[in-house]
Amino acid sequence: MQKKILVTGGAGYIGSHTVVELQNSGYEVVIIDDFSNSLPDSLKGIESITGKKPFFEQLDLCDAAGLKLFFNKHKNIAGCIHFAASKAVGESVNKPLHYYRNNLNSLMNLMECMIANGVEPLVFSSSCTVYGQPEKLPVTEDAPILKALAPYGNTKQICEEIIQDTITSGVKVKAIALRYFNPIGAHPSAKIGELPQGIPNNLVPYITQTAFGVRKELSVYGNDYNTPDGSCIRDYIHVVDLAKAHVIAISRLINGINKKPYEIFNLGTGNGYSVFEVIKAFEKASGKPLPHKVVPRREGDIEKIYADTKFANEELGWKAQLGIDDMMAHAWAWEQYYRKATHA
Residue 152 falls in the annotated catalytic set: yes
Asked if residue 227 binds ligand WQD (CB under 6 A), the reply is no
DSSP string for residues in 282-323:
HHHHHSS---EEEEPPPTT--SB--B--HHIIIII-------
Task: List the one residue from 89, 119, 186, 242 that touches ligand WQD (CB under 6 A).
Answer: 89
Asked if residue 130 binds ligand WQD (CB under 6 A), the reply is no
Asked if residue 203 binds ligand WQD (CB under 6 A), the reply is yes
Task: List the one residue from 25, 105, 201, 223 that touches ligand WQD (CB under 6 A).
Answer: 201
Residue 76 Cβ vs ligand WQD, minimum distance, rounded to whole Å: 31
Instruction: Select 15 or 261, whichever has its Cβ closest to ligand WQD.
Output: 15
Residue at shortest CB range from ligand WQD:
232
Q: Output phi, psi for 335, to 5 deg.
A: -60, -45
- Helical H segments across 172-307, by residue range: 203-212, 239-254, 275-286
Residue 111 Cβ vs ligand WQD, minimum distance, rounded to whole Å: 20
Among the listed residues 200, 178, 179, 204, the one whose alpha carbon sits nearest the alpha carbon of residue 326: 204
Residue 310 Cβ vs ligand WQD, minimum distance, rounded to whole Å: 22
Strands 292-295 and 218-221: parallel
Asked if residue 18 binds ligand WQD (CB under 6 A), the reply is no
Q: Is 273 helix (H, G, I), strand (E, B) or coil?
A: strand
Site string for ligand WQD, 100-129 (x = CB under 6 A): ---------------------------x-x
Radius of gyration of the chain (CA): 19
- Class of residue 264 by CB neighbours under 10 A (exposed 0-12, middle 13-18, buried 19+): buried
Asked if residue 232 binds ligand WQD (CB under 6 A), the reply is yes
Q: Report the run of H or E that residue 331 belongs to, with start and end.
A: helix 324-342
Residues 289-318 that bind ligand WQD (CB under 6 A): 298, 301
* Rounded Cα distance, 119 and 34, in Å: 22
Q: Which one from 13, 27, 131, 152 is the annotated catalytic residue?
A: 152
Instruction: Select 167 or 204, whichever has its Cβ closest to ligand WQD.
Output: 204
Cβ atoms of residues 32 and 6 within 8 Å: yes
Asked if residue 206 binds ligand WQD (CB under 6 A), the reply is yes
Q: Catalog residues that contact ligand WQD under the rule CB under 6 A.
A: 87, 89, 127, 129, 182, 201-203, 206, 218-221, 232, 234, 275, 298, 301
Active site residues: 152
